[in-house]
Amino acid sequence: MKTTLIIKNLCGGAIIITMDTDESKKTPLYDEHAKMGAKIVSFAGFYMPLYYKSIIEEHLNVRNNSGIFDISHMGEIIIKGRDASSFVDHVFTADVSKIGQGEIVYSLILNEKGGIIDDVTVFKFSEDEYMVVVNAANTQKDFAWINYIQTGFQKKGKDVSVQNISDAIGLLSVQGPKSRDLIYPLISDAVKIGKCGLFDFKFKPKNIKDLKHFEFGCAEFKDVNVEALISRSGYTGEFGFEIFIPAEKTAILWNYLLKNSHLSNLLPVGLGARDTLRFEAALPLYGHELDETINPYDAGLEKYLSDTKDFIGKEALKNIKNKEKRLIFFKLSGKQIPRHSQRILDENLKPIGCIASGTYSPSNKFPIGSAYISDSGVNASFLKNFFIDIRGNFEKAEVVSPPFHRHVKAGGSK
């Protein structure tokens, strides 16, 4: 069945993506969420928990203790072959091939015009094998694009293959300052070369306790015999882990971790708090801060563009002399919550752009948001205040420097 996905871009425009899909899919944990009384919504083609008890309670528990998220809706794509390294350097904007085995890099996928197809993380197993973790709503689109580029490589005699393994993977995320208090006691490190669940480690991985941010290793949850790829990564601005396991073992591990919730004051967390957490950390969300009408310069992501190699979209970016838009962050003193695509206006009430994201910040107890300035006559660097048209009410906003929250590292330092 053909499904049309409409992603609204700024000021009411839209990007229309047609995908082959049935009705919303269920993650391996759908039944567990239902048993726990979660509020279920359709998101990115999946039935997902929005919250269990309270978005604010779940948010603050991640900031102060720990939370567990079902993120099995995310997509995973494997790239293999003798020419995999040159292929990933062509497709992705970052210097992917230069990272070491067991390391992760954040990168963008661009179209030929320099627009952002997606933002992803790339895991390196070896020079001839990588895994790309993509946004759920973009899995089919990203796979089709990468597969299209791969076809061109193969016609040139290059050895590279692309496989979408998303349906075989269950993915949990444990986030928060006490997350290590939960994970470390329950695992035994599999410090060996070879199979790790569904993955093939061609290097000796680090112990999980020794992982730095954006590194991954292998461990077994010994009491339930579940072997997992565990990465030091997340989408909350907190210390945390993402845990990749075979889909059929997801419920076993979910229930086991919740059974041991006393170790870190663990609570299950839904999509609502995941969004407020990511936005306090000023992390972009595709369809809000990012889409194919926005380039990396607009979004302030130019640091993820390699200056030592060519990649798709690089030539188009060379012709961009000035930022067409400028992403800014702001806070409100009132109680009105800004929402995506609402207009922003200067002090003379002239429209100068639109809201990208808006929410209430549970940590700060006031509304926050991001917006794109699209009026070339406005110098965003000097903009201090503006107005937001919230259902006909003009709410004054103050421009601030992101992020809205910085996690506290061990020892109390920022």
* Beta sheet of 75-80, edge-to-edge order: 104-110, 116-126, 129-134, 75-80, 161-164
Enter the tokens of residue 302.
Answer: 């130019």
Pick the CATH number of 325-400 from 3.40.50.150, 2.40.30.110, 2.70.150.10, 3.80.10.10: 2.40.30.110
Residue range 270-295: average pLDDT? 97
Over 80: is that where the pLDDT of 7 sits? Answer: no
Over 90: is that where the pLDDT of 375 sits? Answer: no
Going from N- to C-terminal start, the domains of the chain cover 2-71+168-280, 75-167, 325-400
Domain 75-167 matching CATH 3.30.70.1400: the answer reads yes
- Residue 35 makes CB contacts below 8 A (sequence gap 6+) with none
d(CA 297, CA 289): 12
Among the listed residues 320, 307, 308, the one whose alpha carbon sits nearest the alpha carbon of residue 115:
320
CATH fold for domain 2-71+168-280: Gyrase A; domain 2 (3.30.1360)
Residue range 326-346: average pLDDT? 95
Q: Which long-range contacts (CB under 8 A, 24 or more apart) does 159-162 make?
A: 159/81, 159/82, 159/83, 160/79, 160/80, 160/81, 160/82, 160/83, 160/84, 160/87, 161/79, 161/80, 161/81, 162/77, 162/78, 162/79
Answer left, alpha or beta for residue 57, where phi above 0 means left and psi between -120 and 50 means alpha: alpha
225-274 confidence digits (pLDDT tens): 999 999 999 999 999 999 999 999 999 999 999 999 999 999 999 999 99
State pTM to two decimals: 0.93
| Predicted local distance difference test score (pLDDT) of residue 233 | 98
Backbone phi and psi for residue 258, each to the nearest 5 degrees, phi listed first:
-70, -30
Over 90: is that where the pLDDT of 293 sits? Answer: yes
Residue range 131-143: average pLDDT? 98
Tell me if domain 75-167 and domain 325-400 are identical in fold: no
Are the CB atoms for 361 and 280 separated by under 8 Å? yes
| Predicted local distance difference test score (pLDDT) of residue 190 | 76
- Please give the angle made by the CA atoms of 317, 320 and 324, to the nearest 5 degrees: 115
